[in-house]
Structure 1
Amino acid sequence: MPTPAMLPDDTTGWTLDPVRAALVVLNLQRRFVRALDQEGAPIHQLLTNTCRLMSAARAAGVPVIHSVPVRERGAALHVRQPGAPADGGGEAFAEEVEPRIGDAVLTARKHSAFARTRLDSRLRDLKRDQVVIAGLVARVGVMMTAADAWAQDLEPFVVADAVADHSAGGHEFALEWVADTCGAVTSTEGVVEIFTPAASTAEAV
């Protein structure tokens, strides 16, 4: 996983705000997690960091929204799955990041979480114009979701150490591309630090 010192420079000037943000978690179903784990991706860190993000978001009152692909798309997510078992368990979420009551789960028809879903309207209803993006796969779903968010006048923040790809090079490319074109790249620690004061304020109220 990239360290904060390895992140591309921010050119957006945006400031993440828990009152404006929603956390969007992409494609963390067991079949995709298993496939990337077999390829040597840093899945343990991905799940640990995403779990931290989800906990901090819930405590701060930041909406948590999960996006999953329709079942028939399978390998079109660009997760190679040779010999993957055809069991129903693959459709379940990885245990560490299972949705909880209050979370939303949307089914996307394309790589982007905005593709033929209610994500944009849901964000508007919640008065959220920033999206914090975590999950799989960095060069596919993460990039396209960030680009779609930017195209709809939202501010995407990709969490560098809470996304993964098939290779370190692919992971790095995705982060550089987002930073160059449509969004900000941040770290789990940075997001959690911003969300935690908001959680303390909410508890005091």
Structure 2
Amino acid sequence: MAISKISNYTIPTKESYPDNKTDWQPDPGRAVLLIHDMQRYFLNFYDQESELIETLINNLVRLRQWAYQHNIPVVYTAQPYEQPAADRALLNAMWGSGLPASTRDQQKIIDQLAPSENDLVLTKWRYSAFKRSDLLEQMQNWNRDQLIIGGVYAHIGCMVTAVEAFMNDIQPFLVGDAVADFSEEEHRLALKYVSSRCGQVIDTKSLVIDAPNIMTRQWLEQKIQQLIEEDELDPEENLILYGLDSLRIMQFASELKGQGINVSFEELGRNPSLSNWWSLVDARQRIAG
């Protein structure tokens, strides 16, 4: 009943997506981004070094940065560990007892997508992110009626959340290359169902194509302040002296790569200062543009 080890497969690309039945267009002023169940526990069933997981994480990082840049609310779901059998109810028959107490640390969202203090993290009780949560009420309070969905697993929680969004007059957008599943067949099943029954299937690039062009020095400074947890910094000072470590530099390099800015870990680590990093980022985004 538990999840088995998941074999690697190639994430479907835009050219192979099924035709959408509607012509809805994502609108930053109407949208909410949902990052679904990107917990260590669920990602551990994949090969962590696979292209599948690298693509998934990079595209979700790009989507989140696009959301931040456009003032789009970002919502996460995360399943709790050690749920009582009565609370899980019918889920026990399908999946067993859920996340055991021994996986307490694994229930955390992966580091590359760690929620910011302004993001909303919902406790996930059922397939749909709307079930036993205040997601619908939050979206109504924000006056938002579009939900952009990425994460795992495509044909279970992501697809069912899209269905329930549709049932509540919210336009769902399933990002086909920012979700992953048990297999390519089940991944494509989700794309087919959403595109033909309840929403739009889109790809990351089409949605965030303008993101690298609006990357600014102010954005970089704010990002560095988050990395080192400092309110003020000398733009010429070595960031290592502020407590920046190699892991966070590596994660930042991965985030930049996900946005189409190819600056390596080695380049960032060679002279880690705000001014030098901005020179690198600005030069590479001009090339990317």
**Kept after mapping to 2: 8 A contact 1:54/1:64:** yes
Q: How far apart are the structure 2 equivalents of 1:70 and 1:93?
A: 12
| Equivalent residue number for residue 33 of structure 1 | 43
Please say if 1:118 is aligned against 2:128. no
Q: How far apart are the structure 1 equivalents of 2:73 and 2:43?
A: 23
Please say if 1:139 is aligned against 2:149. no
Please say if 1:56 is aligned against 2:66. yes
Identity of aligned residues (%): 33
**Kept after mapping to 2: 8 A contact 1:35/1:79:** no
Structural mapping, 1:15-94, within 5 Å: 15-37=25-47, 42-71=52-81, 72=83, 76=91, 86-94=102-110
Give 1:197 shift: 8.0
| Equivalent residue number for residue 228 of structure 2 | none
Q: TM-score, normalised by structure 2?
A: 0.62
Q: How far apart are the structure 2 equivalents of 1:128 and 1:172?
A: 28
Question: Whose RCO is larger (CA < 8 A, sep 6+)?
Answer: 1
Whichever residue aligns with residue 207 of structure 2, its letter is V
Q: How far apart are the structure 1 equivalents of 2:156 and 2:72?
A: 25
Give 1:199 shift: 8.5
Give the count of matched residue pairs.
196
**Kept after mapping to 1: 8 A contact 2:78/2:108:** no
Aligned to 1:70, the other structure's residue is in SS state coil
**Kept after mapping to 2: 8 A contact 1:41/1:167:** no
Whichever residue aligns with residue 56 of structure 2, its letter is L
Aligned to 2:45, the other structure's residue is in SS state helix
Q: How far apart are the structure 2 equivalents of 1:169 and 1:85?
A: 32
Give 1:36 shift: 3.1
Q: Which 4+ stretches in 1 moved above 6 angstroms?
A: 77-80, 194-200
Whichever residue aligns with residue 11 of structure 1, its letter is K
Q: TM-score, normalised by structure 1?
A: 0.86
| Equivalent residue number for residue 109 of structure 1 | 125
Larger Rg: 2
Give 1:94 shift: 0.8
**Kept after mapping to 1: 8 A contact 2:78/2:109:** no
Give 1:101 shift: 1.7
Task: Choose from 143, 146, 162 the match for 2:178.
Answer: 162
**Kept after mapping to 2: 8 A contact 1:60/1:198:** no
Whichever residue aligns with residue 75 of structure 2, its letter is I
Residues 120-147 of structure 1: CA distance to partner in whole angstroms, max 9, x if unpaired? 0000100110000000111100110000
Give 1:193 shift: 2.4
Q: How far apart are the structure 2 equivalents of 1:184 and 1:3?
A: 15
**Kept after mapping to 2: 8 A contact 1:60/1:195:** no
Task: Choose from 12, 21, 25 the match for 1:11.
Answer: 21
The structure where strand makes up a greater share of residues is: 1
**Kept after mapping to 2: 8 A contact 1:18/1:195:** no
Note closer, same or farther for the CA distance 1:35–1:162 as it changes in structure 2 (3 Å cut).
same
Q: How far apart are the structure 2 equivalents of 1:185 and 1:194?
A: 19
Aligned to 2:46, the other structure's residue is in SS state helix
Give 1:30 shift: 0.2
| Equivalent residue number for residue 95 of structure 1 | 111
